[in-house]
Amino acid sequence: MVVPIGIMLNSLDRDFFKALALAQQLGFPVIHTAALPEPWLTGPECDRVSAALKASGLEVATMFVGFAGQSYADIPTIARTVGLVQSEYRRHRLEVAKRYLPLARGVGAPSVTLHLGFLPDRRESPDYVGTVAALRELCDAAHQYELGVNLETGQEPASRLLTVIRDVDRANLGVNFDPGNFLLYGTDDPHAALELLFPLVRGVHCKDGKRPAQAGTLGEETPLGSGDVDIRRLVRRALALGYRGPLVIEREQGSGLQEIIAAREFLAMISISNE
Ligand code: MG
């Protein structure tokens, strides 16, 4: 089974336009775009981004939504700064997320994707209830543009993400499955997570890594194929289950182009030898 191999743009370069040019040069047919600076969404940059994506001829499989002030430095910082969980940022961030919708629609992307952040365990907690309500509002707004909303996996066990998705109860809510995150955050086994979440999988990040050495810290990302994910088994299983979307390479901690090219060759070999 041959599925397209894509790239998460900020794995190539932090600069959107440089990364887009590199993706074209390297011949990736499909991309995920990373979060844009918030002011771009209301400024002239929004039209520039849209025009550049259309002119590139690349397929935009999803646009990631992100927010000013987020940091992935360590677990406590992520808990404090990332996603829709924090009540003091939630309304503003929801409005930011909605600004991505016409942009995504305009460039032909089928969805937007975001990190929720660390949800409280208790479903009665105000931050849990508020986040679920915010997600409903985002899904309903996305529906107006015929778009899906995907949640990035791995910051919580798959079963908890599934609970959230059921509580939100919107047909256009799915997941972007990132096997590496389950290990980096030490939350779940990526293979068990795939079985649980598969019907909701709308995208796949090919990212590898190792579990944290100490609880409460982040694990280490590795080149694709040299971490503990067993990406070969994971990709083959996703294809066997019926996944036909792109396999999108993501490398967050910086790598260099040679490593990304090697990751693409590795994935091409896996998907061809699966036939
Ligand atoms: Mg990811």
Q: How far is the CA of 184 from the centre of ligand 1 (A)?
A: 11
Q: How far is the CA of 86 from the centre of ligand 1 (A)?
A: 21
Q: DSSP state, 230?
A: -
pLDDT in tens, 22-78: 999 999 999 999 999 999 999 999 999 999 999 999 999 999 999 999 999 999 999
Question: Rounded to two decimals, what is the model's pTM?
Answer: 0.96
Phi, psi of 196 (to 5 degrees): -70, -40
Average pLDDT, the chain: 95
- For residue 33, give the 3-state DSSP assignment: strand
Q: How far is the CA of 55 from the centre of ligand 1 (A)?
A: 25
pLDDT at 185: 95
Are 3 and 247 in contact by the 8 Å Cβ rule? The answer is: yes
Are 68 and 14 in contact by the 8 Å Cβ rule? The answer is: no
Q: How far is the CA of 180 from the centre of ligand 1 (A)?
A: 8
Distance (Å, whole) CA 244 – CA 136: 27
Amino acid identity, position 249: I
pLDDT at 273: 64
Q: Is the pLDDT of residue 199 over 90?
A: yes
Q: How far is the CA of 63 from the centre of ligand 1 (A)?
A: 12
pLDDT at 270: 87
